[in-house]
Homo-oligomer: A and B are copies of this chain.
Amino acid sequence: MIIDEKSAGIVETQFYTIDEKIQFESGTEFGPITVAYETYGKLNAEKNNAILVIHALTGDAHAAGYHSETDKKPGWWDTMIGKDKSFNTDDYFIICTNILGGCSGTTGPSSINPETGKPYGTTFPVFTIEDTVKVIKKLLDYLEIKELYSVAGGSMGGMQAIQFVISYPEMVKSAIFIATTSRLSPQAIAFNAVGRNSIISDPNWNNGNYYESENKPDRGLSTARMIGHITYLCEEAMYNKFGRKLQDKDHYDFNFDVDFQVESYLQHQGQIFVDRFDANSYLYITKAVDYFDPADKYGSLKEAFKNSKAKFLIISFDSDWLFPSCEAKEIVNTLMQLGKDVSYCEIQSPCGHDAFLLEYKTQSKIIKSFLNTHIKEEENE
């Protein structure tokens, strides 16, 4: 590993435990909740240079830099966070938290319930995207941050960014929604539902009580991940990456082993996923994603966004069929109807939904310009 001069450097995940119980949207009161988070750059004296970046479905708080000199990979958005990068650590104080219900430090179903001394499993309450941002807000309160220079997220992170603006409109100066939607299509719900079904069907899932067993619901979780990856790529990306090419062979094997490269890729993605992710977390988080629908909850998307003071940047990718551009445009149109300051960019990319992680060069230019010119201009007005 070479930590270059633009890197956020060696970083550490920190933890904050919310003492009080939090009222979830379901009515349940739940706590204590520990939040895993990382920060990059420095909070200024006015405490008004904080940017919240929010991870996607299976991400974590480690968005940039390295945990140690021997780390093989940097954080998940290292291309975007660092010196002179989109989210410039010289200018901004960037915060990333692991999602409520996750399995990378923030309290989730695999965490120990202090009342029983055992993992919560499925006694963990079902939560919503509103609940996840409520938890983030508690961390910001603790950090004494009353204003966000920006809140940014891709995919499910974008949903949370949307909800943050809706829940705390006075607090957000700008918002960046990338490759996201204000509600899942039935097709996207269907993919999540089949993924969950695959986990729940795995006998090792055992109604969510598998933490003390040697046999985890790896097969179910792996299948769920494979389904997910089909939706993260697109037809064109699959042709470019694999086509109908065979894996390490010239002819069909005439058995049920892997024949095609695309099969090999998906199996590999499924296999490595089970080592880093908890099956119950997958169930809870996808459910929160399915439930997200501010238009339904607040009467309309217009009603949901009406109190926002933010400037908006919305980015979609033309080959993203999981969260297609038409869904981004629905948000753009709503914000325009409300007379909000909104910029929209559809990036041409052959990478499908994965583009929000891969197409960082184009995104960087757009986001830099938005943060450093468009938002700063207002300050000088």
- Chain A interfacial positions (CB closer than 8 Å to B): 26, 28, 122, 125-126, 183-187, 189-191, 193-194, 196-198, 200-203, 219-220, 222-223, 226-227, 230, 233-235, 238-239, 241-244, 252, 254-256, 258-263, 266-267, 270, 283, 287, 290-291, 293, 296
Contacts and interface: CB of A to CB of B under 8 A. Distances in A.
A189 to B, nearest CB: 5
A191 B259 CA distance: 14
Contact of A194 (B122, B184, B196, B226): B226
Contacts of A194: 223, 226-227, 230, 266
Given A185-B238, A223-B198, A223-B223, A190 B262 contact: yes
B291 A252 contact: yes
Contact of A262 (B186, B220, B252, B283): B186
B193 A220 contact: no
B287 A125 contact: no
Nearest to A263: B193
Contacts of A290: 259-260
A201 B203 CA distance: 11
Contacts of A241: 186
B203 A203 contact: yes
16 contacts: A28-B254, A122-B256, A126-B255, A186-B235, A186-B238, A186-B261, A186-B262, A187-B235, A189-B262, A193-B258, A193-B262, A194-B223, A194-B230, A201-B219, A244-B293, A244-B296
A261 B293 CA distance: 16
Nearest to A245: B186
B223 A197 contact: yes
A189 B260 contact: yes
A234 B89 CA distance: 44
A220 B200 contact: no
A184 B244 CA distance: 8
Nearest to A218: B201
Contacts of A226: 190, 193-194, 197
B191 A230 contact: yes
Contacts of A243: 186
A297 to B, nearest CB: 10
Contacts of A227: 194, 227
A208 B126 CA distance: 37
A244 B198 CA distance: 21
A183, A186, A201, A202: most-surrounded residue (chain B CB, <10 A): A186
Contacts of A263: 189-190, 193
Contact of A187 (B203, B230, B252): B230
A225 B244 CA distance: 23
A184 B260 CA distance: 12
A15 to B, nearest CB: 27
**Residue of A235, A254, A266, A293 contacting most chain B CB atoms (<10 Å):** A254
A265 to B, nearest CB: 8
Nearest to A122: B256
Given A201-B222, A201-B223, A262-B193, A256 B283 contact: yes
Given A190-B262, A201-B222, A223-B223, 15 more contacts: A186-B239, A186-B241, A186-B242, A186-B244, A187-B235, A189-B263, A190-B226, A190-B230, A190-B263, A190-B266, A193-B258, A193-B262, A193-B267, A194-B223, A259-B291
